[in-house]
A and B are shown apart, each in its own frame.
Chain A
Amino acid sequence: MIAPKETLRIGVYICHCGTNIAGVVDVESLAKFAEGLPHVALARHYKYMCADPGQELVKRDIREFNLNRIVVAACSPNLHEATFRRAAEDAGLNRFLVQIANIREQVAWVTDDRELAQRKARAHLAAAIARVANHQPLQRQFVQIAPRALVVGGGIAGIQAALTLAEAGKEVILVEREPSIGGHMAMFDKTFPTLDCAACILTPKMTAVKLHRGIRLLTYSTVESVEGSVGSYHVKIRRRPRFVDESLCVGCMMCIEGCVFTRARIPNAFDQGLGLRKPMWIPFAQAVPPVPLVDPETCLEITRGKCKQGCVTACGERNAIRFDQQETVEEYDVGVIVVATGFRAFDPSVIPYYGYGRHPHVYTSLEVERLLNAGGPTAGKLVLRDGSTPRRVGIIHCVGSRDANYHKYCSRVCCMYSLKLAHLVREKTGAEVYNCYIDMRTPGKGFEEFYQRVQNEGVHFIRGKVADIVPANGNGDAANGALTMTVDDTLLGKIREIDVDLVILSVALEPQADAADVRRAFGISCSSEGFFLEKHPKLAPVNTANDGVFLAGACQGAKDIPDTVAQADAAAGRALALMDAGQIELEPNTAWIDDDVCSGCKTCIELCPYKAITHDLERKIAVIDAALCKGCGTCVAACPSGAAQQHLFNDEQVYAELQGLMSYD
């Protein structure tokens, strides 16, 4: 449906982008080329089209030369399409009569061959011009945003995001998989570089979550499914049974005392398996909610059906223990989602030469955090498995990070937490500490100063990778499992053997084991290492490709607590902006049916994953519900008669684009 030739007046604008485009593409000759194409009323080139004078140029030309289509050859439409659409609209032109030719990201930046770049730029420009001739004015589309947020993950990121959202008066559903919120931060003893006690700064926030009327806290729960899109997501949340009624329990913990297991015998995952618990248990003393739970795999009542139920007796008339509790599914409608599912600590047992899992005194950093923590299995004493105090401790940086065999990336926090552990180990045990590092990375407020402080405390720093850890053969006591680290000291230029009683592996941060399932459920992408992908690495760091879904914390990439909290507030801020605006504009690229052409073959109906297409029995044609259509265009591609079309991507537009693309060399 090409409009009559004489009515089309296309304005073409070619951006130099400084030298980004003009350094590779001859913009002047490109403009001359455009002038010769059908319907082109004028073609200009300008240094920075996105700057105000560039936009003014477009607006002035639209008014002065009565332009009715605009093509801008510049950077990716993902960056400035909205800019030029608005400029066109300001000048009285429908905003959808604008087309962008991507000649920066897809031409100037990806080749050094000027001649071929020029040809490619011509092709992309000709395609955009041919395409825009087929554009039709469209209505802008908006959807409403429900003022309720889902926050997934109750670590410090999720806690912070939930509190910020709730403090702004929004309803928040906070979902946590574990029995308590707190995440990894709750496991730590101190936090670098200030040495704040992690619990002291985290537990007030955990309590605030529990007390806030705007937050519905669902622990021991997972998101089962997510349907819908920005503004109106429908989520199902699966709640595992605790076998303790949260609404009745007052957190006295008498049931744990009363459990028929007289000794704690089951490894506590929160203590990295170093501490023991009973079948009736709570991960740690300050858990929120402070409600114990029953482990169905070890509880005698649940596994064998015969137990004298000391826990029930201890609970007494409160009667909070419910062995008949079932798994339930709760459903919520939310407008926005903050994903804060965190990270997993790298498992170093896959690196054979560090001997983790073989040598009893090789620990991960997370295990040592628990040993140093006053609430941990040793009440804060760093002791060897025989109860003695280590005299010499090795700390190995970059375990699983910066290693082509495991993770290429730097986990960002390990240098600093290794320094913190060095400080704490020296403080608590007086041991000699040897930090073996590749490079020391301390970029942060107060970080370098902390490094200086730890150096002055007498910690030994060895620049080099540890090649091997074996039972000691030197001055260590091999019978007690003392170890020898072989390290290539690159500053001394020689191989050193250092005997130590205990080795701490500073393990990498990596994506959660189920990160792929989680991101698919929320419709977000991941980068090559599996961390969730932000919409733009610099300018949209908490947004995702899914408009209503935001990222906070280490699920997006390894980061420390200050950065996590900042990002969580940023995510909450972006979510609030969306909720307070109350609506969001959608691309009007939905599919529609030409009633006169549709033969009612029903081919399209089965193809739609959103059930947006139905068959009108009376008229015997397909009908598309625009509110349900997400605009993928799959039905359009399948329609044998051409009755299904897609706004902004109809057949004529794509054919014209192809024609333009192939017509000029």
Chain B
Amino acid sequence: MTDTAPGTSGQCFQPRVVAFLCNWCSYTASDMAGTARIKYSPCVRIIRVMCSGRVDPSFVLKAFALGADGVLIAGCHPGDCHYIEQNYKTIRRHSMLQHFLEPMGIEDRRLCLVWASAAEGQHLAESIDLFVEELRRLGPLNWSGNWEENGARLEALQAIVDEHSEAMEIPR
């Protein structure tokens, strides 16, 4: 991170957003938005993955750890996945992550799941703008601050770990 507060240039807060876009639908949609010169917030930075199913939950946490104020995952519409059904696994991971984020000190609204087909450049751009607006309302992510100010979060997190330790294969 730089010395200056991240993304505070200009008049309003510019959140830092990482977007994971699947190759077949949403990345193509972002290309299409570009070709059509559809303007959307330049705060979003894009990583291409072959499928939204490739988005390891640790990628999302890593993005937050590296200073992202929000993470967006975009894939093909349910039923339209290039890999048959892998975006359904993305839905599951998204729910799981949201379940975890609050107790970890990250507002669950900072993780956004969007479906955008290859033809929906406009829809993707609008979804990104809506998400950036939401992040502006939330303000910069203050993960460490949240963490310290509320020790209860740590306990809640530990409770989740205790409850699911077997499924998560955590060595005791």
Contact = CB atoms under 8 A, between A and B. Distances in A.
Nearest to B55: A637
A649 B40 contact: no
Given A634-B54, A654-B59, A664-B2, A123 B125 contact: no
A113 B11 CA distance: 12
Interface string B32-61: 011101111111011111110111110100
A192 B1 CA distance: 66
Contacts of A637: 53-57, 59, 89, 93
Interface in A36-90: 76-78
Interface string B134-169: 000000000000000000000000000000000011
Nearest to B40: A110
B42 A609 contact: no
Contacts of B14: 116
Interface stretch (A353-361, A447-455, A522-530): A522-530
B2 A107 contact: no
A115 B9 contact: yes
B84 A545 contact: no
Nearest to B47: A657
B74 interface: no
B109 interface: no
A545 B28 contact: yes
A120 B42 contact: yes
B130 to A, nearest CB: 15
A545 B24 contact: yes
Contact of A634 (B9, B45, B86): B86
Contact of B119 (A115, A526, A658, A664): A526
A601 B59 CA distance: 21
B99 interface: no
A5 B10 CA distance: 38
A633 B63 contact: no
Interface residues of B, number: 61
B54 A632 contact: yes
Contact of B118 (A113, A533, A601, A663): A533
B42 A107 contact: yes
Given A633-B50, A658-B66, A661-B47, A104 B86 contact: no
Contacts of B6: 665
Contacts, number: 163
Contact of B54 (A119, A527, A636): A636
Nearest to B48: A77
Nearest to A108: B34
A633 B119 contact: no
Contacts of B63: 658, 662
B53 A110 contact: no
Contacts of B34: 76, 104-106, 108-110
Contacts of B7: 665
Interface residues of A, number: 59
Nearest to B34: A105
Interface in A90-122: 102, 104-113, 115-117, 119-120
A120 B47 CA distance: 12
B75 to A, nearest CB: 11
A120 B45 contact: yes
B46 A632 contact: no
Contacts of A545: 24, 28, 82, 118
B106 interface: no
A655 interface: yes
Contacts of A423: none
A631 interface: yes
Given A633-B51, A637-B55, A106 B30 contact: yes
Contact of A601 (B54, B89, B169): B169
A127 B47 contact: yes
Contacts of A111: 39-42
Interface string A599-642: 00100000101100000000000000000001111101110100
A124 B34 CA distance: 15
Contacts of B117: 525-526, 533
12 contacts: A76-B31, A110-B39, A112-B39, A526-B119, A632-B51, A632-B82, A636-B54, A640-B168, A646-B50, A651-B56, A658-B47, A658-B66
Given A545-B28, A662-B66, 13 more contacts: A106-B31, A109-B37, A111-B41, A112-B39, A116-B9, A632-B51, A632-B53, A633-B50, A636-B54, A637-B53, A637-B59, A640-B168, A658-B62
The 5 closest A-B pairs by CB, nearest first: A105-B34, A633-B54, A634-B53, A662-B66, A632-B51
